[in-house]
Structures are given as structure tokens and as C-alpha cells.
Amino acid sequence: TPSPMPNAWHMRDITILAAILGLVALAFAVGAIAFGAFVLGLDARQLQTLAFVALVSAGQANVYVVRERRHMWHSRPGIWLVLSSALDLGIATSLALTGTLMAPLRVPVVAAVLAGAAALALLLDAVKSLLMMRLRPT
């Protein structure tokens, strides 16, 4: 949603917000890898694939969270964003499931990462909302 008036960006607050959202996304990726290693017993090559899927899906979650000042569901994303996200996730999951250019993962593992990324989007949105109340990034 465009701003009704020109924004005065407060770079310190934007940097704090970005760093905290980045740390939450990093915790998601590390948690997914740790789960894959210690609970699922994946080997090193499969963990690399898991990391790839986790980073791609966390990146998509982040895009939907930061595109809106308010909660991410306050405005509908554009068709090109939705299509590019679907293509991005489709390519990443297809590569991971078929083992093309990487070790293959089972469908439940990839599905769990995608579901975790959806939960991550909700968590990131909540964190963003709390920080936006305390900070004044725009």
C-alpha cells in the first residue's frame, strides 16, 4: 500500500527490524537442519538439500511479511509476486524431490519444511508487528 505522504526513513530502526527478522529466519533454517540431522537421521548430502529447501521457503515467507507495513494479510499480493513465488517454490521442491542436482528428500520432509515456512511467515509477521509498534522505521 503506498504511503499517503513521503516517508522519512529511520535507518537505525529499519536495520534493527531487518536484523531481528533475519535472526528469526536463521533460527528456522538451523532448526530444520538440526531436526533433519538429529531426529530424521539425514546424511550430509540430504542435509544440504534440506538447507536449500528451508532457505528458499524462508525467503518466500520473508517476502510476504515485509511487503506490507501492517499484517501481511491486509493487502493482496500482486499476481506476478504470487506466480513467481509458486514458480520458485515449485522448482526448489521439484529439484529436492527428484534429486536433480542434489540428494533427494522424501515428500513428507519437504512438506514439513513448507508447512514450517508458512508458520514462520506468521511468526515473522507477529515479530514485525511488535517491533513496528516500538520502532518507527518509516
Q: Name the residue among 93, 96, 89, 95 with its Cα closest to residue 47.
A: 96
pLDDT in tens, 78-129: 999 999 999 999 999 999 999 999 999 999 999 999 999 999 999 999 999 8
d(CA 55, CA 69): 23
Residue 1: per-residue pLDDT: 62
Residue 137: per-residue pLDDT: 59
Q: Which three cell numbers stand for residue 7?
A: 516517508
- Which residue has better confidence, 86 or 17? 86
